[in-house]
Amino acid sequence: MISSFLSTLAQTSGAAPSSGPGYQGLLMMGLMVVMFYFLLIRPQQRQRKELQQRIESMQTGDKVVTTAGIHGLVHNIKEKTVVIKIADSTMVEFDKTAVALVVKKDA
């Protein structure tokens, strides 16, 4: 009795109708990837490029804000670091990558 039940169960589960090759699933996944690219990845790349250009064009006297939230004036620029004046006689050296915002002295 149990063997007949298992055989009928195997026959009915194997004969289930298929819904096709699954093109709808692939199309939806493709649309999701395109949406993620245009809504998340592309704007982040643009912001990163703009910040990199601002850091490269940084000059002495520009106001900056670091990723740590320290505000100051650019005192000296080296190859990979920047010296920021945060008080009258206090200067701190940061990596250029630690600069989060650059405000030009002309602006």
List of domains in the chain: 24-103 (2.30.30.30)
Tell me what pLDDT residue 43 has: 92
Mean pLDDT is lowest, of 15-29, 58-72, 83-97, for: 15-29
Rounded (10°) CA dihedral 103, 56, 75, 88? 30
d(CA 101, CA 93): 16
Tell me what pLDDT residue 74 has: 95
Mean pLDDT is lowest, of 2-11, 57-66, 70-79, 80-89, for: 2-11
Q: pTM of the predicted model, to two decimals?
A: 0.61
d(CA 37, CA 41): 5
| Per-residue pLDDT at 9 exceeds 60 | no
Contacts of 100 (CB under 8 A, 6+ apart): 51, 65, 66, 67
Beta strands in 1-107 (DSSP E): 63-66, 71-77, 81-87, 90-95, 99-103
For residue 56, give the nearest of 75, 84, 79 by alpha carbon. 79
| Per-residue pLDDT at 61 exceeds 70 | yes
| Per-residue pLDDT at 15 exceeds 50 | no
